[in-house]
């Protein structure tokens, strides 16, 4: 069995590697002066990070299988991440092949992102079913505070500026009109982020003392938080009519890198230990 020192040593290098990767990639993108090249490099980096994360998730499913109490959980996680990767790959294809920037408008690709949220939520729900919610009152209080704070911040951020409304000179007659369905779909993203954040926090509150099992959830929750920040920022810009891929692409890249760290931990420790226990049981049965 792996001792505590090994866990902490691997975790230290994993965190350093993730932080350095995020820093190097994001700073490199931010320093590119040409907006077109910058956006193209960001899309490539995003898809690379998404591909690595998807591969790690697929490996987890193949190694663990669909059986056991975590089989479906890994499957839901893999499908959710894969759907997000498909959407990002669609942006890559549209930008470099069709010369269309899909990031600035609602398209069929959004259906992949939205579907991804469903499977990621199912993943979190399946995990909650496997743990005991011991601190119900504390958990409920914290979740209520998070939900209320999230709603208040989003409502306040999305309200139009009163000065902007009163000053008609700010209205650009040549600006592109944003359709209501596009606004509704865009606003869905922060709401769906909440469906991921709430169960993640509930899990963290109840397993934080379990060092080995809390590590991937801390990483996964951080990943989802970064994604939520990006979704909220982009939503506000979109409603204001100033949708832009930057700097939100940098957040999405960091999101996948952190999630890949969580999946690395799953593969190295959780699944490996489960396989070892399964092999030991099979050996005893023989």
Q: Is the pLDDT of residue 55 over 90?
A: yes
- Across 40-50, average pLDDT: 94
Q: Which of 76, 49, 13, 30 is nearest to 246 (CA)?
A: 30
**Residue 168: band (very low, low, confident or very high) from pLDDT cuts 50, 70, 90:** very low
**Residue 220: band (very low, low, confident or very high) from pLDDT cuts 50, 70, 90:** confident
Q: Long-range CB contacts (< 8 A, 24+ apart) of 21-28?
A: 21/257, 22/253, 22/254, 22/257, 22/258, 25/49, 25/253, 25/257, 26/250, 26/253, 26/254
pLDDT score recorded for residue 283: 61
**Residue 170: band (very low, low, confident or very high) from pLDDT cuts 50, 70, 90:** very low
My answer on whether omega of the bond before 22 falls inside 30° of 0, hence cis, is no
Q: Give the pTM.
A: 0.81
| Per-position DSSP letters for 201-250, written without gaps between them | HHHHHHHTT-HHHHHHHHHHHHHHHHHHHHHHHHHHHHHTT---STTHHH
pLDDT score recorded for residue 182: 66
Q: Output the six-digit token pair for 229.
A: 């920040």
- Across 259-276, average pLDDT: 85
**H or E element in which residue 193 lies:** helix 180-207
Angle between helices 211-239 and 180-207 (to 10 degrees): 160
Condensed to tens digits (0 to 9), the pLDDT of residues 77-114 reads 999 999 999 999 998 998 888 877 665 567 788 889 89
**Residue 209: band (very low, low, confident or very high) from pLDDT cuts 50, 70, 90:** low
- Across 135-140, average pLDDT: 80
Q: Which residue has the higher pLDDT, 30 or 271?
A: 30
**Residue 172: band (very low, low, confident or very high) from pLDDT cuts 50, 70, 90:** very low
Q: What percent of the chain has pLDDT over 90?
A: 27
**Residue 159: band (very low, low, confident or very high) from pLDDT cuts 50, 70, 90:** low
pLDDT score recorded for residue 164: 40
Q: What percent of the chain has pLDDT over 70?
A: 79
Are residues 154 and 190 in contact, defined by beta-carbon separation less than 8 angstroms? yes
Domains, the chain, ranges and CATH?
A: 8-159+178-285 (1.20.1070)
End-to-end CA distance of the chain: 22
Q: Which residue has the higher pLDDT, 188 or 26?
A: 26
Q: Is the pLDDT of residue 173 over 70?
A: no
């Amino acid at each position: 069995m792996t001792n505590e020192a090994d866990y902490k040593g691997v975790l230290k290098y994993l965190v350093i590697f993730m932080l350095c990767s995020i820093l190097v990639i994001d700073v490199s993108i931010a320093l590119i002066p040409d907006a077109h090249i910058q956006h193209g490099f960001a899309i490539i980096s995003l898809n690379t990070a998404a591909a690595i994360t998807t591969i790690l998730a697929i490996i987890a499913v193949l190694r663990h299988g669909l059986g056991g109490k975590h089989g479906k959980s890994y499957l839901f996680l893999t499908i959710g991440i894969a759907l997000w990767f498909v959407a990002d790959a669609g942006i890559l294809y549209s930008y470099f092949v069709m010369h269309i920037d899909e990031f600035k408008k609602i398209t069929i690709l959004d259906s992949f992102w939205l579907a991804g949220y469903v499977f990621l939520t199912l993943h979190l729900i399946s995990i909650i079913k496997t743990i005991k919610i011991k601190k119900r009152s504390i958990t409920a209080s914290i979740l209520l505070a998070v939900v209320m704070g999230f709603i208040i911040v989003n409502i306040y951020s999305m309200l139009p500026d009163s000065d902007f409304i009163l000053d008609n000179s700010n209205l650009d007659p040549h600006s592109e009109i944003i359709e209501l369905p596009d606004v509704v779909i865009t606003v869905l993203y922060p709401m769906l982020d909440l469906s991921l954040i709430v169960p993640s926090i509930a899990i963290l509150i109840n397993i934080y003392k379990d060092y080995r099992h809390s590590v991937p959830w801390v990483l996964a929750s951080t990943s989802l938080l970064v994604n939520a920040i990006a979704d909220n920022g982009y939503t506000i810009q979109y409603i204001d009519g100033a949708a832009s891929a930057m700097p939100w692409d940098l957040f999405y890249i960091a999101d996948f890198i952190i999630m890949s760290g969580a999946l690395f931990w799953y593969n190295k420790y959780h699944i490996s230990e489960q396989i070892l226990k399964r092999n030991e049981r099979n050996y005893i049965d023989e």
